[in-house]
Amino acid sequence: MDLSVEGKAYINGSFEQCCIGVENGKISSIKKVLKGDVHLNFGYKLILPAGIDLHVHFRDPGMINKEDFATGSMAAAFGGITCFFDMPNTIPQTTDINSLSDKIMTASKKSFVDFGVYAGITDNNINNIETIAKKCNGFKIYLGSTTNTLMFNKQNLKETLIKISSTNKPVLFHAEDDACLNKYKTIEKNLVDHLNSRPAICEETAIKNILETSKGVNAKVHICHLSSCEGLELLKNRSKNITCGVTPHHCLISAGRNLNPQTHFKVNPPLRTIFDKETLFNVLRNGFIDVLESDHAPHTLDEKDAEFNDAPSGIPGVETIYPMFLYLVKQEKLSFQCLVSLLCEKPAEILNAHKGKIKVGNDADFIVVDLKKECKISSEKLHSKCGWSPFNGWPALFPDAVFVRGEKVIENNEIQVSQGFGKFIGE
């Protein structure tokens, strides 16, 4: 046995003092007493499954002034995220075998943690879905315009879902209806204007279309970044093949003139009302939401500090998502069981990754947490290239140590592996 790790581990829904045995990067045994070639005793610190972020924009290739696979994956690692899945709206857009292969090769050279990639669906590659599926971890469809959008005609949705269903890969949706967005588009001076220009009816219209079109089609459908009560209401009786995710910003922050700088909170879908925010958090803690996803979408400070109407939408979050919610668990705002399901177990299930649970046969991906080590999030200490966070000053619990496939990636607030340690999930 290569390694044994001792501590208070989260196993099958509860904590138990035990040892986790690791061989060849996999969890090989879980027992009261184990001794590997290397034995690490974390005492009564908590050992939790590492997080999986199924929704990031690491901007590589084409926009690496904002982020790249090295800085994005390092941020993920420091935040206890050991596997991320990157969206296709890069430059060039990831829509064919060549662009997928190039992106995977680039990430393989740069990433500190494991990763997957999505292929974007456009009107031009629908007939190639089965071929593209051999290279990607899932698909992304944009029903509304946002940063570097891959435009898609919703008239093609039924045919597309049928083709995707045969691949057994998930399809993720940006659910804002483009015709609706165009109807409400206006000059924006602040976050309230942005909310009014992308109203909840646009999300509601898109989700209604997805639900109606997917009837009778056994595709794995995931609604990204749910942001409104109206969208939530439509999903209350969803079928088992449809999942939904919520971001920290949509369930913890509401639009208002008290947020400064206003552009740092500009995001698509927009931050909504206090009622939307509180409702989303309540249903998230009660088990109605499937996934917690960061939608990490960094832009530089120069870009964000433009006039509001000209500033790009998107905020960073991959490094802060797990630590912020660990603090909320400590405050008893939600349970460990809920958080582990949202950020570890369900993303692994959706993307067929052998991660997300401390169980025999899975990758040995876990984090070590000391509940006494609270801190305040500091933008200067985060690792994203963009250099800022909308959660600056928020309380959090960052992990003391992070393991990927049994290798210690983070210890004593320092990276322990080299670029390229991360592996592509799916081969």
Alpha helices in 198-318 (DSSP H): 200-213, 229-234, 248-252, 274-285, 301-304
Amino acid at 346: K
Burial of 86 (0-12, 13-18, 19+ CB in 10 A): buried
Q: Which of 177, 295, 363, 365 is catalytic?
A: 295
Q: What are the C-alpha distances in Å from 230 to residues 137, 212, 233, 244?
A: 30, 16, 5, 14
DSSP 51-100: EEEEEE---TTT-TTT--HHHHHHHHHHTTEEEEEE-S-SSS---SHHHH
Our answer to whether residue 177 is catalytic in this structure is no
Listed in sequence order, the residues at least 6 apart from 9 whose beta carbon sits closer than 8 Å to its beta carbon are 15, 16, 17, 18, 20, 30, 46, 47, 48, 358, 366
Spatial contact of 42 and 402, defined as CB atoms under 8 Å apart: no
CB 9 within 8 A of CB 15: yes
Helix (H) and strand (E) counts in the chain? 14, 18
Q: Choose among 186, 124, 174: nearest CA to 148.
A: 174
Count, residues in the chain: 427
The CA distance from 184 to 268, in Å, is 14
Cα–Cα dist 228/81, whole Å: 26
**Alpha-carbon span 141 to 219, nearest angstrom:** 13
What's the chain's Rg over C-alpha atoms? Answer: 20
Contacts of 286 (CB under 8 A, 6+ apart): none
SS3 (DSSP) at 119: strand
* CA pseudo-torsion sign 145, 150, 156, 157: negative
Q: What amino acid positions are annotated as catalytic residues?
A: 295
